[in-house]
Structure 1
Amino acid sequence: MLGLARAGATVVVGHQRQTEEAESLRRELKDTGGDHLLVQADVADPAQITELIEATGTHLGGLDIVVNSVGTISHIPYADLPLDAWTQVLATNLTATHLVTQGALPLLGESGSVVNIGSGAGVVGVPLRAHYTAAKTGLIGLTRSLSKELGSRGIRVNLVSPGVIETDQAAGMPEAARTAYTNRIPLGRLGEADEVAAVVLFLASDVSSYVNGATFTVDGGI
C-alpha cells in the first residue's frame, strides 16, 4: 500500500488488529501527504468486509484499484487437518478475496485493476499446508475466470505470486531453513517487500493496460 500511496494513489487499507505495525503504517501513509484511511476489519468475517467496502465508498466515492493482500497459514499434517483449520484458512486466503472483489465492483464501475496476491505454494504445493496451498491455487483460478468475465467491463484482474520474502515471519525462520531456501534461489537471497510492491504498482497502473489474467511470479527464479 505504501508503494501505491507514494506513487500518488489515495489508499484505504483494511487491517485485522490494532497493532504497532498498523500504527506505523498509519504514520508512514500520513507522511506521503495523501488523504488515506485505515479501517480495522477482519476479512474472515463477511460482515466486516461489508463495513470495509462501505467505508471505502464513503471515503473515496469510487475505486480504480483493488489489491487483495491477505493471508493466514498453519502447518498441520493432512491426516490430522481439522475442518475448522481448513475452513479458517480457506475463508481468509480465498473467500475474502472473492467477497472484497465482488463488493468492490460497484465502486470500480467500468474500469479498474484488481491485483490478487497469491503464493508460490499455490503452484508447487507444500507439505503440511494442504489447506493453504488449495486456497492459493484457488486464487489462480479465480483470477483467470474474473479476467475473462470482467474484462469486457474494462476491469483487469491479475495475480502476483511471491516466493520467499523478507517479512516478520521470515525473520523468525530457522537459519538452516533460510540457508536451504537461499541455496535454491538462483539470485542467492530472499526477496524484499518493495520488490513485490513494484510489480503490484505496475499491474495497478496504466502501463499494464493490456495485461489481464496473468500471473507474475516474484521469487528470484526458485
Structure 2
Amino acid sequence: MAGRNILVTGGNRGIGLAIARALDAAGENVVVTNRSGEAPEGLRAVRCEVTNTASVDAAFTEAEELLGGPVEVLVANAGITRDTLLMRMSDEEFDSVLDTNLAGAFRCARRAVKGMIRARRGRIVFISSVVGLYGSPGQANYAASKSGLVGLARSISRELGGRGITANVVAPGFIETDMTAALPEDRQKAYLASIPAGRFGQADEVAAAVRFLAGDDAAYITGAVIPVDGGLGMGH
C-alpha cells in the first residue's frame, strides 16, 4: 500500500491536514493543495484554486512533477461555508459554496482519472459531511454541496469501476477543530447532546477512515458513504 502518489486538496489545515499527515506517516508520497501554495511543516504543497479549471490542471501538473508520476489517490477535501438562513441567502452565497465544494471536487476528479484510467487503478475519496445527509438550518448551500458528492462518487463508481478505480465518500460529523472550539459553550453542549457517542470526533479519526478507503483492503468498496459522526446521522 505504501509509497503511492496522493494528492489531498485543502490539506493545509483542519481535517485535510490531519489526513495528509496520516497518509504521510504511513509512508505514502503526499502533496497537498491550498490557495497560497505554502506548505505545512514536513509536507509539500502546490497552489490550487478549485473553482478554476486551469488552476486545477496546473496544480496537478506541478504535483505530478513533485510526486514523480501521476496521482494514484485523490482526497477531495477543499471546501468553504457561507452560512445564512434560506430567505437571506444570496445567489452568490449559494453559488460560491457549490462551485468550491461540489464543482471543485468534480474538476479535481476529472483531472485525476486521466492518469488512473491509463494505469487501470485509482482511489478517489470525497470528504462530505453529516450535514449533507442530515441537513442543517442555515446551511442549505453547504448541505446541497456535500450531498452532491454522494451522487458524484456513485456515478464515477458505475462509470469507472471496471477500470480498477473506486470512488467513496467520508462524512464527518462534529470534529474538534478551531471552528468548533470557537463555538459558544451553550452551543457546544447542545451539539454534544445530539451525538450518541457523547463527544466531538477527532480529525485523526476521519483520517483513519480515509486511509482505509485509500488502501488495498478497500479494493471492493466503491460508491459507499462512511460516516465518522459518533452516530449523529445514524446512516443517513
**What are the superposed Cα offsets for residues 71-92 of structure 1, whole Å, 9 maximum, x if unpaired?**
1012212112111111110011
Alpha-carbon shift at residue 171 of structure 1 (Å): 1.4
Q: Match for 2:61 among 48, 51, 54?
A: 54
Aligned 1:203-222 pairs, distance under 5 A: 203-222=213-232
Look up the match of 2:115.
107
Superposition CA RMSD, Å: 1.3
How far apart, CA to CA, are the structure 1 residues paired with 2:207 and 2:50?
A: 21
Deviations 1:77-125 (A, max 9, x none): 2112111111110011000100000011122231011000000111111
Give the share of equivalent positions with the same residue, in percent.
38
| 1:108-127 correspondence runs (5 A) | 108=116, 109=118, 110-127=120-137
- Of 187-196 and 61-70, more deviation after overlay is shown by 61-70
Could you list the per-position Cα deviations for residues 186-212 of structure 1 after superposition, in whole angstroms to 9, with x for gaps in the alignment?
A: 111100000000000000000111111
Map of 1:1-222 to 2, 5 A cutoff? 1-17=20-36, 23=39, 25=40, 27-29=41-43, 37-60=44-67, 61-108=69-116, 109=118, 110-222=120-232
Structure 1 stretches of 4+ with a deviation exceeding 6 A read none
What is aligned with 2:6? none
Q: Could you tell me the TM-score, scaled by structure 1's length?
A: 0.91
Q: 2:11 matched to which residue of 1?
A: none
Q: CA–CA distance in 2 between the matches of 1:105 and 1:143?
A: 12
Give the number of equivalent residue pairs: 210
1:10 counterpart letter in structure 2? N
Give 5+ residue unaligned stretches, structure 2: 1-19
Judging by fraction of residues, say which structure has more helix. 1
For residues 165 and 203 of structure 1, the distance between their equivalents in structure 2, rounded to whole angstroms, comes to 19
Cα distance in 1 for residues equivalent to 2:93 and 2:170: 25
